[in-house]
Every structure is written in C-alpha cells, then in structure tokens.
C-alpha cells in the first residue's frame, strides 16, 4: 500500500520532473547538434502533456481517489515508464526513446481501459440498485392463503 500511495502522489510531480530531466540530459548536455535542443524543446512539453493526461485518467477513477493509491497495474506501468524515461536520459540510443514512447502509449490505453471498466461496474451496480428499489415488496400476513396457478401446457 505504501508503494501504491507513493506513486499516487508522485505521478503529477513526475510529469514535471521527467520531461525536464529528458530536456536537460538529452537536449542540452548530450546533444550532437543545435537541432537536438529544438527537437527536445518541442518533444518535452508533449511528454509533459501526455503524462498529465495519464495522471488525470488514473486519478479520475473513484477507487483511486478514495484509497489515495493507484492500482497494481498502474504501479507496474508507472515504474516501467519512469525507468524508461530515466534511462533514455542517460543513454543516447533511439531504442530507449522508442521503448519509452511505446510504454507511454500502452499506459494511456491501460488507464482508459481501467477507467471504462470501473465506470461500467459502478453503473451496473447503480442500475441493479435502482431495479431492486423499484420492485414493490409485498408483505402478506402470516395466516394469508396463497393460491398458485400453474400455466397449462398448450399441447395437452
């Protein structure tokens, strides 16, 4: 629970810190040309917006807000994404950038899937509760006679 809660609070901070880390590590320190700085100046705000969108999708689930902790699937996706982004800041191969982008896209769709699944389950519970409340409860006295009429078979 400590890890899930820590990642719940860290997701918005990581959305700010990790793009800055990528910009400083890859764009300024380890760049080959001046165009790298321009490319990272464009890509890092896009990364920031994508991470904020994912954090908003994760936080918009009621189970996450009430527990103030993300799910274990969110933990796995966040740890993979953070590790890939930190590694992409150290290593200058395009493989880590591609892996980071793929993990980011996968995390986005996992967050949408979890949000839709939870909303569907909550809606079904709401509809079931409404159906139970709409059915009248008939209370018969203890000495009431009940007559059961069975339908006849049309072939007989």
Query: What are the domain boundaries of the chain?
Result: 2-134
pLDDT for the residue numbered 156: 61
What pLDDT was estimated at residue 143?
A: 73
Contact 94, 68 (CB under 8 A): no
> Which of 25, 30, 7 shows the shortest CA–CA distance to 81?
7
Closest of 20, 122, 17, 26 to residue 65, by C-alpha: 122
Q: How far apart (Å, rounded) are the C-alpha atoms in residues 34 and 41? A: 11
Question: How many residues in total does the chain contain?
Answer: 156
> In whole angstroms, what is the distance from residue 134 CA to residue 93 CA?
62
d(Cα 125, Cα 19) in Å, to the nearest integer?
40
Radius of gyration of the chain (CA): 27
Rounded Cα gap, residues 107 and 126, in angstroms: 28
Measured distance CA(128)–CA(121) in Å, rounded: 11
List the chain residues with pLDDT less than 70. Answer: 31, 135, 156
């Amino acid at each position: 629970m400590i890890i899930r809660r820590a990642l719940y609070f860290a997701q918005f901070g990581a959305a700010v810190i990790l793009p800055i880390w990528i910009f400083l590590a890859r764009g300024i320190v380890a760049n080959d040309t001046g165009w790298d700085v321009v490319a990272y100046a464009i890509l890092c705000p896009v990364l920031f917006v994508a991470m904020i969108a994912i954090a908003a999708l994760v936080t918009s689930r009621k189970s996450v807000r009430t527990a103030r902790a993300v799910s274990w699937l969110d933990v796995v996706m966040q740890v993979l994404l953070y590790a890939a982004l930190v590694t992409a800041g150290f290593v200058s191969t395009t493989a880590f950038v591609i892996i980071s982008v793929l993990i980011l896209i996968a995390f986005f769709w996992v967050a949408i899937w979890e949000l839709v699944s939870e909303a569907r389950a909550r809606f079904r519970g709401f509809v079931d509760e409404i159906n139970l409340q709409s059915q009248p409860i008939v209370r018969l006295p203890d000495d009431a006679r009940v007559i059961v009429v069975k339908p006849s078979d049309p072939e007989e």
